[in-house]
Structure 1
Amino acid sequence: MNFDHEELMLMMLYNTGTRQGLVRELRLMQCYLMPDETALRELSEQVIEKLKRLTDAEFAGLEFPMN
């Protein structure tokens, strides 16, 4: 699974250490988005869909950018 830089940065911000925890945090974050924050909603949906297709082992092997 390929994540782009923007997706990896979002994942890094909300990462709990587990794939399922990250999905939960992204869903919770979406509850606080304003109606006009469509780009962030779409990005988080993309990430969630990709995370659903990953295994826990694949998630554990992901490397997040440092900057």
Structure 2
Amino acid sequence: MRFTDDEWMLMMLYSPGTRTGLIAELQTMQKSLTGRDRNLRRWTASLLTKLAEMTDAEYGALDLYPDE
């Protein structure tokens, strides 16, 4: 699955370590977005769609912090 740089950044910032945890964190964050946050809302919606399509194993195989 391909992720944009913005989606990668969201995953790095909000991931508690699991796919389902990240989905919950992103949904919580979405609730606080205002009308001026159109890009962030779009990136988050796109990422949530992609996360819903992948398995926990696929998410676990992602290297969210490659420089560590």
Normalising by structure 2, report the TM-score: 0.90
State the Cα RMSD in Å.
1.0
- For 1:63, the aligned partner's letter is D
Alpha-carbon separation, structure 2, partners of 1:55 and 1:2: 14
Query: How many residues in Structure 1 have an aligned counterpart in Structure 2?
Result: 66
> Gaps (5+ residues) in structure 2?
none
Structure 1 segments (4+ residues) deviating >3 Å: none
Normalising by structure 1, report the TM-score: 0.91
Q: 1:59: Cα distance to partner?
A: 0.1
Where does residue 45 of structure 1 map in the other structure? 45
CA displacement 1:1-60 (0-9 Å, x = unmatched): 111221111111000111011000000001111112110000000000000000000000
Where does residue 54 of structure 2 map in the other structure? 54
> Gaps (5+ residues) in structure 1?
none
